Amino acid sequence: MRDIVQASNLVEVENVYFGYDQREILKNINLVVPKGRVVAIMGLSGCGKTTLLRLIGGALVPDRGEIRVAGRVVNKLAADELLALRRKMGMLFQFGALFTDMSSFDNVAFQMREHTKLSEPLIRNLALLKLQAVGLRGAADLMPSELSGGMARRVALARSIALDPMLMMYDEPFTGLDPISLGVIGQLIRRLNDSLGATSIVVTHDVAEALELVDYVYYMAAGKVEFHGTPAEVRAAGLPSLRQFVYGEPDGPVPFHFPAPEYRQDLLAQ
Amino acid sequence: MTRIADLMRALGARIVNNWIWRLGFACRFLWLTLRESGPSFRRFHLTIREIYFAGVLSLIIILVSGLFVGMVLGLQGYDTLVRYGSSEALGVLVSLSLERELGPVVAGLLFARRAGSAITAEVGLMKATEQLSAMEMMAVDPIARVVAPRFWAGVISMPLLAALFSAMGVFGGYLVGVQLIGVDEGSFWSQMQAAVDFREDILNGVIKSFVFGIAVSWIAVYEGYDAPPTAEGVSGATTRTVVTSSLAILALDFVLTALMFRGQ
CB contact under 8 A, A94 and B131: no
Q: pLDDT by residue (tens digit) across B215-225?
A: 999 999 999 99
State which residue of chain B sits closest to A85, comparing Cα positions: B139
Nearest CA to CA, how far is B220 from chain A (Å)?
Answer: 19
Residues A150 and A106 reside in one and the same domain: yes
What is the spatial distance between Cα B142 and Cα A56, in angstroms, rounded to a whole number?
A: 20
Regarding beta strands A38-43 and A216-221, do their DSSP bridges make them parallel or antiparallel, or are they unpaired?
Answer: parallel
Average pLDDT over residues B113-134: 93
How much is the ipTM here? Answer: 0.81
CB contact under 8 A, B134 and A97: yes
Write out residues 106-125 of B within 8 Å (CB-CB) of A. Answer: 125
Is residue B168 in some structural domain?
A: yes
Q: pLDDT by residue (tens digit) across A131-142?
A: 998 888 999 899
* Angle between helix B204-226 and B231-260 (nearest 10): 160
Sheet containing A72-73: which strands, arranged edge to edge? A23-34, A9-20, A64-69, A72-73
Nearest by CB to A93, from B125, B134, B140: name it.
B134
Residues A153 and A177 reside in one and the same domain: no
B143 touches chain A (CB under 8 A): no
Regarding beta strands A224-229 and A216-221, do their DSSP bridges make them parallel or antiparallel, or are they unpaired?
Answer: antiparallel
What is the spatial distance between Cα A226 and Cα B130, in angstroms, rounded to a whole number?
A: 29
Find the DSSP H helices in chain B.
Answer: 2-14, 21-35, 37-42, 44-54, 59-81, 90-96, 103-111, 117-128, 131-137, 142, 148-174, 185-195, 204-226, 231-260
Measured CA angle at B149 (ends A157, B228), to 5 deg: 65
Residues A217 and A251 reside in one and the same domain: yes
How many A-B residue pairs are in contact by the CB < 8 A criterion? 45
> Which chain A residues are closer than 8 Å to B40 by Cβ?
none
Is residue A221 in some structural domain?
A: yes
Identify the residue among A69, A83, A117, A201 best suited for mutation to test binding to B, counting B beta carbons within 10 A and taking the highest: A83
Is residue A75 in some structural domain?
A: yes
How would residue A270 be classed by pLDDT, with cut points 50, 70 and 90?
Answer: low
State which residue of chain B sits closest to A91, comparing Cα positions: B137
3-state DSSP assignment of residue A198: coil
Residues A129 and A151 reside in one and the same domain: yes
CB contact under 8 A, B139 and A110: no
Q: pLDDT by residue (tens digit) across B35-59?
A: 988 888 888 999 999 999 999 999 9
State which residue of chain A sits closest to B146, comparing Cα positions: A99
- Whether A129 has a pLDDT exceeding 60, the answer reads yes
Is residue B25 in some structural domain?
A: no
**Domain coverage including residue B142:** 43-260
pLDDT at B217: 96
> Which chain A residues are closer than 8 Å to B134 by Cβ?
91, 93, 97, 99
CB contact under 8 A, A91 and B137: yes
Q: pLDDT by residue (tens digit) across B221-242?
A: 999 999 999 999 999 999 999 9
Is residue B182 in some structural domain?
A: yes
CB contact under 8 A, B133 and A83: no
Is residue B33 in some structural domain?
A: no
- Whether A2 has a pLDDT exceeding 50, the answer reads no
Tell me how many domains chain A contains.
2
B140 touches chain A (CB under 8 A): yes
Sheet containing A216-221: which strands, arranged edge to edge? A89-92, A167-171, A199-204, A38-43, A216-221, A224-229
Higher pLDDT, B21 or A257: B21
B42 touches chain A (CB under 8 A): no
Is residue A122 in some structural domain?
A: yes
Residues A179 and A80 reside in one and the same domain: yes
Contact A49, A43 (CB under 8 A): yes
Residues A81 and A158 reside in one and the same domain: no
Q: What is the DSSP letter of B10?
A: H
B35 touches chain A (CB under 8 A): no
- Whether A48 has a pLDDT exceeding 70, the answer reads yes
pLDDT at A146: 92
What is the spatial distance between Cα A79 and Cα B123, in angstroms, rounded to a whole number?
A: 23
pLDDT at A1: 44
pLDDT at A208: 81
For residue B7, CA distances in Å to B10, B30, B140 come to: 5, 33, 46
Cβ-Cβ contacts under 8 Å for B127 (sequence gap 6 or more): B133, B224, B225, B227, B229
Residues A114 and A243 reside in one and the same domain: no
B52 touches chain A (CB under 8 A): no
3-state DSSP assignment of residue A46: coil
pLDDT more than 90, % of chain A: 20
The pair phi, psi for residue A228, each rounded to 5°, is -145, 145
Cβ-Cβ contacts under 8 Å for A130 (sequence gap 6 or more): A108, A158, A159, A161, A162
What is the spatial distance between Cα A219 and Cα A42, in angstroms, rounded to a whole number?
A: 5
Tell me how many domains chain B contains.
1
Measured CA angle at B237 (ends B231, B238), to 5 deg: 90
Which residues of A touch chain B, with CB atoms under 8 Å apart? 57, 59, 83-84, 86-87, 89, 91, 93-95, 97-100, 110-111, 114-115
**Domain coverage including residue A191:** 2-88+165-268
Is residue A94 in some structural domain?
A: no
What is the spatial distance between Cα A221 and Cα A242, in angstroms, rounded to a whole number?
A: 9
Residues A134 and A198 reside in one and the same domain: no
Residues A182 and A260 reside in one and the same domain: yes
Domain final residue, candidates A145, A163, A181: A163
pLDDT more than 90, % of chain B: 76
- Whether A245 has a pLDDT exceeding 80, the answer reads no
Contact A200, A215 (CB under 8 A): no
Q: pLDDT by residue (tens digit) across A172-216?
A: 888 888 888 888 888 889 988 988 889 999 998 888 888 888 999
Helices (H) and strands (E) in chain A, counts: 10, 10
B130 touches chain A (CB under 8 A): yes
CB contact under 8 A, B130 and A95: yes
What is the spatial distance between Cα B6 and Cα B4, in angstroms, rounded to a whole number?
A: 5
Rounded to 10 degrees, what is the CA torsion of A251, A254, A255, A257? -120
CB contact under 8 A, B130 and A94: yes
Residue type, B217: S
Q: pLDDT by residue (tens digit) across A10-29?
A: 888 888 888 887 788 888 88
Contact B203, B256 (CB under 8 A): no
